[in-house]
Amino acid sequence: MLELILRHCTLPDGRTGIDIGIENGRIVAVEPALAAQAANEIDAAGQLVTPPFVDAHFHMDSTLSYGLPRVNQSGTLLEGIALWGELKPLLTQEALVERALAYCDWAVAKGLLAIRSHVDVCDPRLLAVEALLHVRERVRPYLDLQLVAFPQDGVLRAPGALENLRRALDMGVEVVGGIPHFERTMADGAASVRLLCELAAERGLRVDMHCDESDDPMSRHIETLASETVRLGLHGRVAGSHLTSMHSMDNYYVSKLLPLMREAGVAAIANPLINITLQGRHDTYPKRRGMTRVPELLAAGVPVAFGHDCVMDPWYSLGSGDMLEVAHMGLHVGQMTGQDAMRNCFAAVTTTPAQILGLEGYGILPGGRADLVLLQARDPVEAIRLRATRLLVLRAGKTIASTPAATATLQLPGRPTQVDFMVSRDGTQRGG
Ligand code: FE2
């Protein structure tokens, strides 16, 4: 007798009619018509069961601070950075913890159970670091929070930033961050990449830099990041976040860059919601989209994840922790409308970021942790189209969130009484 069986599941890889057996918080069987019984059985009714959503790029120290101390009137990156500078001295640890915990509640409700968050280390008090380390422990039973020591004002540009970053790592922050395009010169940017990669190599840590978040095609710090990854043997442990300058780069140069990234084992993290709004702001028309070259990176064999980046903070006044909204935007901005491309967008908010974060026990396979999300959709493409309702969210086999199915009731003569926005495979509208 097992603890729990989810029956009649469709999996993201396309398998249908699958039963998932769970015991002691772990998946013990994934097969059709599982010949076992359980104390608790849930009928997925052919709907999609996925491992949880994973956000590879977020800023939890600023989330839900929208309007503090004022709103971003222009909606631009530069006003956002200025606003963050105004907010930082006003931050208290209690308020930071409270906002971060509130965001984690939203995340859980949306089936988002792992987040890599950057934390600004430029404030010598390291107040945000302490707050998020506390939050990491508080949420550990239900959400994996991985922290990146992020020198927002530049590790070389801001006095004391390198020392603060080292202190943050000593305190238990687990990933080395950076922002080379924000250093004062190209040479300083490259020097910052070198020294931060060396620091990560010394300490055996992963690296995730805000890299080339600019429309300047000459911003080429990703090249240095990839070559340092090779030089220091950091293969598979390094990610470049944003990489928006790649959108504007010369095609010949990119044809050399992509194989270098592939050989270095560097991953790319695009942030479509944020970069479609923040990039191209100096353009009139035509106006560049600014997102990095996602289909081309994938074709070259570079893993690409999508991050949410911001939710209701100085840079972005929208968002709700919904990684399907992120995938939806990424799909549109990248023109990823082919069948495989749409499935890659789903992978970019599930399996690919799980691999980038190095999550243990992730995935629907025997031995994996029973972290699962039941969606009101029949496949990954439908999940993205509908930003599907998270009917159930399980952590280690226990339900930690649920949402009623999204069904509208109609009162129209001669028409169905309900719609759920799904179309039967024979092309007719489902509903009663
Ligand atoms: Fe970011």
Note the pLDDT tens digit of each residue in 336-365: 999 999 999 999 999 999 999 999 999 999
Residue with tokens 């901005």: 333
Give the separation between CA 371 and CA 4, rounded to whole angstroms. Answer: 12
Q: Is residue 38 part of a domain?
A: yes
Residue 236 belongs to some domain of the structure: yes
414 domain-assigned: no
Q: Is the pLDDT at 75 greater than 90, yes or no?
A: no
What tens digit of pLDDT does each residue of 250-295 get?
A: 999 999 999 999 999 999 999 999 999 999 999 999 999 999 999 9
% the chain with pLDDT above 70 = 98
Distance, CA 309 to ligand 1 centroid (Å)?
5
Kindly state whether residues 349 and 390 are assigned to the same domain.
no
Q: Is residue 91 part of a domain?
A: yes
Are 33 and 95 within one domain?
Answer: no
pLDDT in tens, 392-423: 999 999 999 999 999 999 999 999 999 999 88
55 pLDDT exceeds 80?
Answer: yes
Q: What is the DSSP string of 44-65?
A: -TT-BEEPPEEEEEEETTTTT-
| φ, ψ (nearest 5 deg) of residue 328 | -60, -45
Phi, psi of 220 (to 5 degrees): -125, 35
Alpha-carbon distance 329 to 322, whole Å? 11
425 pLDDT above the threshold of 90? no
| Pairwise CA distance, residues 213 & 220, whole Å | 10
SS3 176: strand
Domain boundary among 295, 330, 357: 357
As beta bridge partners, residue 423 has 429
Distance 402 CA to ligand 1 centre (A): 29
User: Is the preceding omega at residue 217 within 30 degrees of 0, hence cis?
Assistant: no
Q: Sheet containing 398-402: give its strands across.
A: 49-50, 372-375, 390-395, 398-402
pLDDT of res. 76: 85
| d(C-alpha 137, C-alpha 144), whole Å | 9
Residue 40 to residues 1, 51, 360, Cα–Cα distance (Å): 10, 20, 26
Distances (CA, A) of 232 to 131, 166, 209, 355, 372: 32, 19, 16, 20, 37
HSE on the CB side for 22, CA within 13 Å? 24
The answer on 114 and 36 residing in a single domain is no
Residues 242 and 391 in one domain: no
Q: Cα 168 vs. chain centroid, distance in angstroms? A: 22
Euclidean distance between the first and final Cα of the chain, in Å?
37
- Both tokens of 94, joined, read 């209690």
Residues 257, 401 within the same domain: no
Q: Provide the whole-model pTM.
A: 0.97
Report CA(196)–ligand 1 centroid distance (Å): 17
Q: Is residue 420 part of a domain?
A: no
pLDDT of residue 88: 87
Q: Looking at residue 374, what DSSP letter applies?
A: E
174, 183, 213, 223: the active-site residue? 213
Distance 119 CA to ligand 1 centre (A): 10
Q: Is it the case that residue 319 has pLDDT exceeding 60?
A: yes
Residues with CB under 5 A from ligand 1 (ion): 309
10 Å CB burial of residue 17 (0-12, 13-18, 19+) is middle
- Assess whether 246 and 167 both reside in one domain: yes
What separation in Å is there between the alpha carbon of 273 and the centre of ligand 1?
11
139 and 38, same structural domain? no
DSSP state of 326: H
Name the residue range of residue 376's domain.
Answer: 2-51+363-408
| Helix (H/G/I), strand (E/B), else coil: 226 | helix
- Judgement on whether residues 129 and 22 belong to the same structural domain of the protein: no
- Are 379 and 250 contained in the same domain? no
Looking at the domain assignment, is residue 423 inside a domain? no
CATH number at residue 25: 2.30.40.10
Span 207-224, average pLDDT: 97
Using the mean position of ligand 1's atoms as its centre, give its distance from the Cα of residue 210 in Å: 6
Tokens of 195: 């020294």
CATH code, domain carrying 118: 3.20.20.140
Residue 65 has pLDDT above 80, yes or no: yes
Question: Would 67 be classed as within a structural domain?
Answer: yes
- Residues 6+ away with beta carbon under 8 Å from 302: 258, 261, 262, 266, 267, 268
Residue 346 maps to a domain = yes
Query: Do 154 and 233 belong to one domain?
Result: yes
Do 373 and 232 sit in the same domain of this protein? no
298 with 383, same domain? Answer: no
Does the structure show a pLDDT above 60 at 144? yes
**Domains held by the chain: number:** 2
Residue 213 catalytic? yes
Pick 74 or 7 by higher pLDDT. Answer: 7
**C-alpha separations of 310 from 62, 74, 250, 407 in Å:** 8, 17, 29, 29
Distance (Å) of CA 408 to CA 201, 281, 427 = 54, 39, 19
Average pLDDT over the chain reads: 96
